[in-house]
Structure formats: structure tokens, C-alpha cells
Structure 1
Amino acid sequence: MHKKALLISGPCSAETEEQMLQSATELAATGRVDMLRAGIWKPRTKPGMFEGIGTKGLPWLRKAKEVTGLPVAVEVATAKHVEDCLAFEVDVLWVGARTTGNPFSVQEIANALRGVDIPVLVKNPIHPELELWIGAVERLAKAGLTDLGLIHRGFASYGNTDFRNAPMWHLPIEMKRRLPDLPIICDPSHICGRRDTLAAVAQQAIDLDFDGLMLESHPDPDNAWSDAKQQVTAAALKTMLEGLTWRHEPTNQREFQTALAGLREQINQLDTEIMQLIGRRMGVAQQIGQYKKDNDITILQTNRYSEILDRSLRQGEKLGLSPEFVHTYLEAVHLESINRQNKVMNS
């Protein structure tokens, strides 16, 4: 059977009552959306940009819920936001990326929610800092909130051109490892920043066993007041969702484990061999460090590293390894080699 994924959708920003009702009605008609989202307060990068309609938009969401039956979710950044959302019976709150990165703001929200039973989702901070993400969850948990979850919306990355926010999939995977009991939802809209790549990112999140998707939609995306390029119509959203491959959970756990056991044992053996080889490599690096120390030679030899990198990139291409992986692997190995040689130099 297919895993039931939570699907949250709605406009980046609530603009008018008519827009919200139209959005909710069209999304409900798809039969695929579980929850309506809308930005009421928008923390923008620069002044003068549209910063949200404010509290007057909350009655529109409540009316949309009454008309369609869809529960609603809103981003909060202050205690006042929390107070207003609770007054208008918002069903789910989420902490935005900019707020997650500010422990004072998260603590203010946690204090405002003390004693309140409401689901709260926490987006990753703008920059790739897992401890800030985990810290935000811990602050909310210490305030007594038990229905918590995560939203992965990508991370700011200087020089990045493929995504609005680089997904850095290894970071949400690490969060799943550290906090396995918390559901995690992917927000392809903020990762992509444009609608033509949404499906590919959504599919990758599904393949990585995320628990749901948050996708922005708008009745007239090109004329949206904020983030127009990453929003889609309800009809386009439905088509996209129908085109995704929804992975299934194994129905026969014993058969599933047996089928993978042999392959996993091969992985275990190969991992052991790799670690042994790296250990031997570091032993040679220490010998080189001793020679450099004895002959007053600097540790860093940039020409040598460039030679290793060029050779490894050529080998990696023949083996089907991506240049990004080869770079990342060699940087880690090179740094460990330098650390080993530095210890020898200063022993």
C-alpha cells in the first residue's frame, strides 16, 4: 500500500478574501490536498516589499475552512502572531526559516504556546545549521508542545544557481536520524523558486521517505503579490501530483528484509575495506609528515593536491561518480591528511 503523505497547499500570501476563497475551493476540488496554507505575515528581505496582509486576513482563512472543510496552517514569528492565530482557530502553526534562526524569537513563540495543544512545524533555518534547527524543536518541546514536526525548505548557499535554496538533502536526512519520531515535510516551492522544477524535487522528497509536501498554489500565479514564479494553479498542482511515483511500504517485512540482506552485507564488507584503506592512506600521510618535518618542508603542497584532484575526477567520471562527490570526498581526505601531518610537525 502507498504511504499516506500529508499535502499542504495554498498561496504564498493571503491577498484578498476572494482570492483565499477561490484558492481553497479549487484546492479542495482536487481531492488531493489535506490542508490549506497562506502567509499572513511575510518577513521580507528588504523594506518596501509586500510584508503580508496582516491579522485582517485571518477571518478569510477561517471562512475558507468553513466553506471547504480544509484545516488551515499559518506561519508565526511573534507572540502576537500566535495570539491572533489562536483567536481565529488556526489549526496548525509553523515557524519560518528566518525565525528558526533566532533563538529569542523561537523562545517567545514557545512561551506564548505554553499550555496550548496545537501542532507546530519548524522550518529549517536559512543557513545550514542543524543545531539551530534542533534547538528550536527543543524550545517548543520544553514548553509542553508534543505534536511537533519539521519542514525542509532548503538552505541559502552563496553562488548557488540551480535552486532558490539548495536542498542539501544530507541535512534533513541527518535530522530524520537524530529525531526519528518527528514527521518531516518537504517544501519544494522554496527550494526551487520556480515552478518548472517542483516535480523533480517533490519526487526526490518522496523517494527519501518524507512524510508530506508543502506546495504553493495561486488562482493566478503570474500576478501573485509575492513569489509568483514558484506558485502553480490548483489544476497544475493536481496534474503534478498525479505524475509523481508514490513509493510503497513493504507488505511482507520478512521478504523485504531477506531481499536486501545480501546486498546490505556487501555494503558492510565494502565499507570495512574502504575504512581500512583510508586508515592505510593516513598512515602513509603520517610518514610524509615526518619526512617534511625532518627536512623543514611545508605541509601544504597545492600542486600535489591539484594533481590528485584532476586524476581522481577523471577516474570518477569513468566510474560514474559525480564531480561533486569526488570533490567532497577528496576535500575531507585531504583535510584529515593535513591534520595528521600537522600533529607530526608539532609533536
Structure 2
Amino acid sequence: MKYTQLGRTGLQVSRIVLGTMNFGPQTDETASHAIMDAALDAGINFFDTANVYGWGENKGRTEEIIGSWLARGGDRRDKTVLATKLNGHMGVGDPWPNHHKLSAVNIRRSVEASLRRLGTDYIDVYQFHHVDRLTPFEEIWQAIDVLITQGKVLYAGSSNFPGYKIAQANEIAARTGRVGLVSEQCLYNLAERRAEMEVVPAAREYGLGVIPWSPLHGGMLGGILRKEREGGGSRSKGGIAAQSLTDPAVRARVQAYEDLLAKHDLDPGETALAWLLTRPGVTGPIVGPRTAEQLDAALRAVELDLSDEVLTALDDIFPGPGPSPEAFAW
């Protein structure tokens, strides 16, 4: 495994991030534990989750599965950089006030609940899952300060923030001598490169590590057309991959992508992950394996060196927006 610093911090994290969203809904507790064991054995030390994972009436279940894994003892917790998120409504049915978003009261309530489910006394990276347009960052940072002083949180990160919110959050933090955000999770992959317009530049300017989610774009970059021919395809008829492929232009790009990789004897999923690892500012993509075999494929991507020829061809098939502000200003 290869490691890098998380943004401008001194925290060393693996270049593959283990996403746990499938733990519970798709993967049972025993299989989830086996995947976490395999990830740790392979050197992956960065585990990502969220308080809402488990979904519906089972919100929080994923954190509980991680907690039961940590409770098996050994040095699991010491070896793991644990990240979770808050923002989403944690109740069932109509939302109650102050049970979601980023108010000080919900930050306090949410961190205590996550710590109980995870069975740990601290969270390495506590992430704001979405923006909260109503709560000022002065209040958010005051609440995070309390958690840092109590030793319950070490760093704060964001997820799904636009560039201007990253700037706003860190400018307000800097005025009062706070560290501010150290990471940003965003939708970013070969087929979805809008983050390069504002989010990635803002993250790099303020020293945030970029953590892409959905690196295979819902399976679209994982060899989906080949799998269709072989009788497989996307696991969800209504998923992003299946929906996108109804567009002939998108389907043609995906076919060109798979043809290019077949020519160079490269696996599509591994290549999509390896491409992200070449992008400036990227700490590591989040992979969400449902099986140990899927984890193995992600691990191979770390060792995959893409040639300049392949990188240029990938840019031709999936062109990015170009540098900002030139891409939209002139």
C-alpha cells in the first residue's frame, strides 16, 4: 500500500479509502468484518462511513457493524483512521427540528451517537455530509472546538461542498486561528469531472485532501458494456450507470473507453481508480466493496502505472472542463 498526507495535515492515510456504505444493506456483518480485516491486512488504514448509512429504519447500522469489528480487539483502532459524517436526518418519518443539519446542538447529539455506535472514544475525521445554508460557520467551528478540546474529534472535513463554501469555511476558521477543513469528499471520476472547475481548485488552494466518491460512476467505468455482453451489467436497473447508457453519446464514450483499455490489456475498474490517483490534490478514492474480490481489484489499482499514451487517450474520451476560470470565463 502507498500512503500520503491528508491535505495539509501530518496525518498519513492510505491511497485507497475503504467505503462502508454497503455494510448492512448489501453486505452482512460477518462479510463486512472479513472485508475490513482484509483491508487492514493489505495496508488500508483509512475507513469512511456516515451516521445515516444503513438507511431507512436501519440508519446507524453501518457504524454499529464497524463498532462490532473494532470491539474484536487487537490493535484495530490504533491502526485505523476512522472518518464518519453528519448532517442527514436520523429519525424515521417526519423530521424533528434539530435532528439534522449542522447546528451546534445536532453536532453534539450526532457525535455522541456515532461514538456509541462505533464503540470508540474519538473520531479521526468528522465530516459535514452536506452544506447547511442556515447555520453560520462561526457556530459550526465553535461546536467542533468543543469536541476537539474534549478529545472526541481530531480533524474536520466536508463532503459535497461547492468551492465557495470550502473557501468560506476556511476563511472563517483562519480568522480565529482554527485549522478548518482538512478534506473534501466529492463526486469525481473520469465521467464526472465538474469538480475540476471549482471544488478541486478550492481544495488545493486551502490544503484539503480530495477524496472522490463513486470513482466508477455507479459502475459505468467498471466494464459495464462487456458485462452486458456476458449477461451481467449494472446491479440496479435504475442506477446511474443504467440510466446514463440510454444516451447514445454516453454509450459511445463508454464503448471507446472499454475498447481503449482492451487494446492495452487494462481492466476498466482498476484503470478508473488509477486515473484518479494521478490527479493533483487527490488523496485517494473511496471504494465500497461488497465482496473481498472487489477489494482485491481496488488494491491492484494502487500499483498500476498508466502510460502517457493512455492518459492522453482517456482525456480525449472523457475531456475535463479545463482550468478555472478560463473554462467558463473566456
TM-score (norm 1): 0.44
TM-score (norm 2): 0.46
Question: If each structure's helix is expressed as a fraction of its own residues, which one has the higher value?
Answer: 1
Structure with larger RCO (C-alpha < 8 A, sep 6+): 2
Larger radius of gyration: 1
